[in-house]
């Protein structure tokens, strides 16, 4: 217990009114009443009402009675109270704290402190409920009855349930590749505007496919009470890329599925995973069991891994996680790896994530900071170097992560264990991490996951908090849908990452003469090899060729804006699928980047765009996940917004009334520029402002972009003095990225 347990039953009680179930993101008024116990509260004693770090409930304010989140606090006996709100004034994960101190007077048994969150008596609309679901959302109350600042948690805490709202978006999810005649499922769901799967769906849609699908009904009905509709045992007999659309009664496309490639030549099949997230037992939301059930039943993942901060994982919880991973793992259905996040301080190496092949393996914590049982501190490894030594000989894989602490792979790295780097999570986008690896000559793959704290692995909407991005996904190309098959693929870097979209992607190399393929990194010592004439993403090869043919095949659910073809730190080509004369009246304005590598990386892009001599016909935000932040056309010639980035991108598309007339003014705190509309073309205009890739980019797009897929072949010259790390980043029009793991070729 992190707090005192002295005479818990004499410290009072607390209630919340109203009780019940409340829609995520709605505005409500809650009265939390604390009734003092036997000891009362002495002069300068205090109570805290705390919420989890992950919660994005509206921040209480005390100054404007008519504005959202107005909060009042009163003592029933007239005692004078000092009230403050602090985001980190209690032990994690219960960081967010309403602090109430008795500064004149005291409380006797039975006296009350009454807190009205979202006090509506003077016009406040209420306090905004957190934007994600939780059956037991607590107004946790702690009491310092003796004015010693040694708090006692009340034995019973007031709780409410937070539930989804009605659907505003529907999704249809297919597997990414299947063989002709092989059965598969179409999984569909509705989500509210905060990304919560909704059980309030009550619609019927026509189902249309671009190929003949055995067993596919003509319509689907979403009924209240169900979170998903699944059509099992579907089959396609011919080859091609299957797309399924949901059509409403007016003939409009409600949603277009991800593409599913029907191919008879697949040697490896793609499986989608979120390899990194947390539950309420550490710093997340809902239980670890809920975590895996959501991943399997609501996010429709193939793979999932719970990765709690090690300094919060007790021995009992580590045992429980191992029991859950064994229980939920079903070959050819759903795979869970036992895992944990080594959460070392940045100065000692920063965050790493460990996936074990088997249960029952020891955990080597970075510290026991929040684990009270100190009997096993001898197994701790405080530094990343020590972690790698401790994992020597383990059947596991490690990837570097950027969260609150960033992984410093220049300080510590082990080629045998650390096979990948995580370039995207709900914390943001961090391409600088793969660049760090290239600079050091490491041979690593690219993964993307969520590190989700809101109980939604695989569908990790950022909500309205410091998380700036939608959580990522990793697609693993494996020979079998088993732990062993997936682990082998992860170790070989046969995978790619996305910012949450399910995309078909393959990259490969063809050689003019035979090349030497190494199943293990030859830097590790004397390893066997085989002779090949082609390779796939993640492979390591030696070649005598002066150049190679690099092939890219991509098909996503959103049109392609651009494909960056890269050789390590060098961008060889920026490919756009449309010709220079195809862009029309649509311009794209993108803001991106971060302040620096650490926790305070948020970059604020609040501002406006104004036209002179022209007007906006329409606009569409990009990656506008936080609906609390405004995005408004205030006049036909001015667009205003509130936005931030944490390494990823945001922005908007705007259709102009005239394709060439007038001037565009961009006005943000970081970038202020006037641009002639006639100068905006297919190639980007870039305005940089320090930080890490902190900038605004502007280009012109086709009015309608029909290019959902691309097949590219490029001959790329090889260099002699370093690895040739050939990979791509695909930028999709909906704001999502896809990264292939590099193919490493040395001469």
Q: Quick check: 709 and 556 in contact, CB under 8 A?
A: yes
Task: For residue range 281-297, list pLDDT tens digits in order.
Answer: 999 999 999 999 999 99
Q: Which residues of 575-586 are buried (b: 16+ CB within 10 A; e: fewer)?
A: bbbbeeebbebb
CATH of the domain at 203: 2.60.40.730
Question: 176 lies in a domain?
Answer: yes
Q: Which residue has tokens 């080597």?
A: 364
Residues 79 and 12 in one domain: yes
Residues 495 and 377 in one domain: yes
**Structure confidence at residue 156 (pLDDT):** 97
Q: Around Cβ 266, how many Cβ atoms within 10 Å? A: 14
Question: 532 lies in a domain?
Answer: yes
CA atoms of 667 and 159, how far apart (whole Å): 44
Which residue segment(s) compose the domain that 633 sits in? 580-701
Residues 687 and 584 in one domain: yes
Task: For residue range 455-494, list pLDDT tens digits in order.
Answer: 999 999 999 876 779 999 999 999 999 999 999 999 999 9
Question: 609 lies in a domain?
Answer: yes
CA atoms of 61 and 71, how far apart (whole Å): 6
**Structure confidence at residue 613 (pLDDT):** 97
Q: Quick check: 371 and 316 in contact, CB under 8 A?
A: no
Question: What are the residues facing 247 on neighbouring strands?
Answer: 206, 253
Summarize the confidence of residues 83-99 as an average pLDDT. 95
Summarize the confidence of residues 125-132 as an average pLDDT. 98
**Structure confidence at residue 601 (pLDDT):** 87
Q: What secondary structure letter does DSSP report for 719? A: P
Residues 54 and 122 in one domain: yes
SS3 289: helix
Residue 265 has pLDDT above 90, yes or no: no
Task: For residue range 646-656, list pLDDT tens digits in order.
Answer: 999 999 999 99
Residues 140 and 204 in one domain: no
Q: Quick check: 297 and 173 in contact, CB under 8 A?
A: no
Pairing mode, strands 445-448 and 418-425 = parallel
**Structure confidence at residue 482 (pLDDT):** 98
**Structure confidence at residue 381 (pLDDT):** 97
CA 412, 413, 417, 418 torsion: positive or negative? positive
Residues 714 and 634 in one domain: no
Summarize the confidence of residues 116-120 as an average pLDDT. 98
Q: Which residues of 164-194 are buried (b: 16+ CB within 10 A; e: fewer)?
A: bbebeebbbbbbbbbbeeeebebbbbbbbbb
Residue 633 has pLDDT above 60, yes or no: yes
CA atoms of 239 and 180, how far apart (whole Å): 6
Question: 608 lies in a domain?
Answer: yes
Summarize the confidence of residues 681-695 as an average pLDDT. 94
**Structure confidence at residue 99 (pLDDT):** 98
Question: 1 lies in a domain?
Answer: no
**pTM for the structure as a whole:** 0.96
**Structure confidence at residue 282 (pLDDT):** 96
Question: 336 lies in a domain?
Answer: yes
Last residue of some domain: 139, 163, 187?
A: 163
Residues 331 and 189 in one domain: no
- Supply the DSSP string of 267-283, one letter for each residue: SSEEEEEEEEE--TTTT
- Ramachandran area for residue 651 (φ above 0: left; ψ -120 to 50: alpha; else beta): left
Last residue of some domain: 461, 479, 500?
A: 500
Nearest-10 Cα torsion for 692, 698, 700, 705: 40
Q: How many residues are given for the chain? A: 747
CATH of the domain at 358: 3.20.20.140
Spacing of C-alpha 628 from chain mean position:
19
Q: Around Cβ 395, how many Cβ atoms within 10 Å? A: 13
Query: In angstroms, what CA-CA distances link 279 with 309, 399, 443, 454?
Result: 10, 20, 32, 8
CATH of the domain at 727: 2.60.40.10
- Supply the DSSP string of 331-343, one letter for each residue: TTTBEE--EEEE-
Question: 2 lies in a domain?
Answer: no
Residues 120 and 158 in one domain: yes
Indicate the angle between helix axes 288-297 and 315-328, nearest 10 degrees: 20
Tokens, residue 471: 């959580």
Residues 646 and 540 in one domain: no
Average predicted confidence (pLDDT) for the chain: 96
For 460, half-sphere exposure in the C-beta direction (CA atoms, 13 angstrom radius) is 40
Q: Which residues of 56-80 are buried (b: 16+ CB within 10 A; e: fewer)?
A: bbbebeeeeeeebbbbbbebebebe
Number of structural domains the chain divides into = 5
Q: Where are the alpha helices (DSSP H) in 329-430?
A: 384-390
**Structure confidence at residue 548 (pLDDT):** 98
Query: In angstroms, what CA-CA distances link 454 with 21, 275, 358?
Result: 18, 15, 27
Residues 191 and 322 in one domain: no
Residue 1 has pLDDT above 70, yes or no: no
**Structure confidence at residue 551 (pLDDT):** 98
Residues 306 and 289 in one domain: yes
Q: Which residues of 271-301 are buried (b: 16+ CB within 10 A; e: fewer)?
A: bbbbbbbbbbbbbbbbbbebbbebbbbbbbb
Residues 494 and 512 in one domain: no
Last residue of some domain: 223, 238, 262?
A: 262
């Amino acid at each position: 217990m992190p707090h005192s347990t002295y005479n818990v039953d004499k410290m009072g009680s607390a209630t919340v009114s109203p009780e019940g179930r409340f829609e995520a993101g709605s505005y409500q008024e809650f009265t939390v009443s604390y009734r003092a116990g036997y000891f009362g509260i002495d002069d300068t004693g205090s109570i805290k009402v705390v919420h989890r770090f992950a919660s994005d409930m509206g921040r209480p304010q005390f100054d404007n009675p008519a504005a959202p989140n107005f909060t009042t606090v009163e003592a029933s006996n007239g005692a004078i109270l000092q009230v403050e709100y602090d985001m980190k004034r209690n032990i994690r994960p219960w960081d967010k704290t309403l602090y109430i101190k008795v500064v004149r007077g005291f409380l006797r048994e039975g006296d009350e402190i009454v807190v009205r969150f979202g006090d509506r008596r003077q016009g406040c609309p209420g306090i905004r409920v957190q934007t994600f679901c939780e059956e037991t959302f607590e107004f946790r109350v702690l009491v310092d009855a003796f004015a010693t600042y040694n708090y006692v948690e009340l034995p019973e805490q007031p709780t409410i349930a937070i539930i989804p709202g009605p659907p505003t978006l529907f999704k249809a999810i297919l597997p990414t590749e299947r063989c002709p005649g092989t059965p598969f499922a179409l999984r569909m769901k509705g989500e509210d505007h905060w990304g919560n799967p909704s059980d309030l769906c009550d619609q019927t849609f026509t189902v249309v496919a671009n190929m003949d699908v055995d067993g596919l009904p003509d319509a689907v009905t979403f009924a209240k009470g169900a979170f998903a509709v699944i059509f099992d045992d579907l089959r396609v007999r011919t080859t091609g890329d299957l797309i399924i659309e949901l059509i409403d009664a007016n003939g409009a496309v409600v949603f277009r599925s991800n593409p599913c490639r029907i191919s008879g030549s697949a040697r490896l099949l793609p499986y989608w995973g979120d390899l990194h997230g947390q539950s309420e037992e550490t710093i997340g939301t809902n239980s670890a069991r809920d975590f895996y059930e959501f991943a399997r039943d609501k996010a429709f993942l193939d793979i999932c891994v719970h990765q709690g901060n090690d300094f919060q994982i007790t021995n009992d919880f580590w045992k429980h996680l191992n029991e859950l991973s064994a229980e939920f793992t079903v070959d050819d259905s759903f795979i869970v790896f036992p895992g944990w996040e080594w959460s070392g301080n940045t100065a000692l190496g920063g965050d790493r994530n460990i996936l074990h092949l088997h249960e029952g393996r020891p955990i080597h914590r970075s510290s026991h900071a929040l684990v009270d049982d100190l009997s096993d501190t001898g197994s701790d490894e405080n530094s990343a170097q020590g972690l790698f030594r401790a994992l020597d000989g383990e059947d596991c894989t490690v990837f570097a992560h950027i969260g609150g602490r960033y992984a410093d792979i220049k300080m510590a790295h082990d080629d045998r264990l650390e096979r990948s780097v995580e370039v995207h999570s709900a914390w943001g986008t961090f391409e600088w991490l793969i660049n760090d690896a290239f600079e050091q000559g490491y041979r690593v793959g690219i993964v993307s996951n969520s590190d989700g704290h809101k109980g939604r692995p695989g569908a990790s909407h950022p909500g309205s908090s410091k998380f700036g991005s939608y959580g990522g996904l990793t697609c693993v190309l494996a020979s079998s849908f088993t732990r062993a098959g997936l682990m082998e693929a992860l170790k070989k870097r046969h995978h790619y990452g996305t910012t949450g979209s399910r995309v078909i992607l393959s990259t490969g190399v063809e050689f003019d003469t035979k090349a030497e393929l190494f199943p293990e990194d030859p830097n590790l010592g004397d390893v066997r090899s085989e002779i090949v004439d082609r390779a796939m993403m993640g492979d390591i090869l030696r070649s005598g060729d002066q150049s190679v043919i690099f092939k890219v095949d991509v098909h996503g659910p959103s049109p392609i804006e651009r494909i960056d073809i890269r050789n390590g730190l060098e961008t060889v080509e920026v490919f756009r699928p449309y010709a220079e004369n195809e862009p029309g009246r649509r311009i794209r304005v993108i803001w991106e980047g971060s302040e620096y590598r650490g926790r305070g990386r948020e970059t604020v892009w609040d501002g406006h765009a104004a036209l002179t001599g022209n007007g906006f016909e329409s606009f569409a935000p990009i990656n506008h996940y936080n609906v609390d932040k405004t995005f408004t056309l205030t006049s036909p010639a001015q667009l205003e917004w509130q936005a931030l980035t944490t390494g990823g991108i945001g922005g908007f598309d705007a259709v102009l009334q005239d394709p060439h007339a007038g001037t565009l003014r961009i006005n943000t705190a970081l970038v202020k520029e006037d641009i002639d509309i006639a100068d905006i073309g297919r190639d980007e205009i870039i305005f940089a402002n320090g930080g890490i890739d902190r900038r605004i980019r502007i280009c012109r797009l086709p009015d309608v972009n029909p290019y959902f897929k691309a097949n590219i072949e490029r001959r790329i010259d090889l260099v002699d003095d370093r690895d040739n790390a050939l990979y791509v980043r695909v930028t999709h029009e909906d704001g999502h990225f896809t990264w292939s793991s590099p193919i490493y070729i040395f001469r």
